[in-house]
Chain A
């Protein structure tokens, strides 16, 4: 199975800051990686698919990037409504696997 390692596990930042979350797969997954946002008490929401493509309706301050084996989710200008836990997920092969999550606080 592909293991997903996500860092940091938590981050505290101020409104307007740039926040970057990193995810690495235990083996190559090409661009088959998704990012999800889960707010407290809610179901997850798809933010990014195929590493860098923005899901419809997601604010432009969210972006995804791949550099070699590392994937990053960047929030450019953190907003209060972005307080949530963010998960990466490899979409390369079954069984699908998620990273451990990054809790973003203000």
Chain B
């Protein structure tokens, strides 16, 4: 069973930094792309960043503007999101998500679809 467990969310002041972590288990971590998706209180889903199974390819949303960096350690089965220069509008629940999908007979490491999600970690940016 796929499990994703986020940690690191907390209250941080504007301009501060934070690193989120996601511990993965139940699948061959290095074979799958991973991503972070956030949800501001009472709002919709917003993709933040993603990277390939090897970590060689990374992508991020426009609003990141170089402030966030996604990375992974395949030997530890860990995904990270380093967030710098945090703003009030970055306040949200941050979800770690595994890319891929499954038909009735097979699973595919297809990028850009998220077939497993963690429960999220809350980041609050406020003075």
Interface residues of A (CB under 8 A from B): 1, 32, 34, 36, 38, 42-46, 49-50, 53, 55-56, 85, 87, 89, 91-92, 94-101
Contact = CB atoms under 8 A, between A and B. Distances in A.
Given A55-B101, A56-B104, A44 B60 contact: no
A99 B45 CA distance: 8
Contact of B115 (A1, A38, A46, A92): A46
A88 B117 CA distance: 16
Contacts, number: 70
Which size bracket describes the interface of B in this complex?
20 to 34
A95 B113 contact: no
Task: State the majority secondary structure of interface residues on A.
Answer: loop
A56 B47 contact: no
Contacts of A87: 44-45
A89 B50 CA distance: 15
Contacts of A97: 47
Interface string B99-119: 001111001001111110111
Nearest to B105: A56
A100 B60 CA distance: 19
B118 A56 contact: no
Contact of B60 (A38, A43, A89, A95): A95
Contacts of A46: 101, 113-115
Contacts of B112: 32, 91-92, 94, 96
Nearest to B102: A56
The 4 closest A-B pairs by CB, nearest first: A91-B112, A43-B117, A94-B59, A56-B102
A56 B46 contact: no
Given A43-B95, A46-B101, A95-B61, A55 B115 contact: yes
A43 B111 CA distance: 19
A36 B45 contact: yes
10 contacts: A44-B37, A44-B114, A44-B117, A46-B115, A89-B113, A95-B59, A96-B50, A97-B47, A99-B44, A100-B44
Given A95-B59, A98-B46, A43 B113 contact: no
A98 B101 contact: no
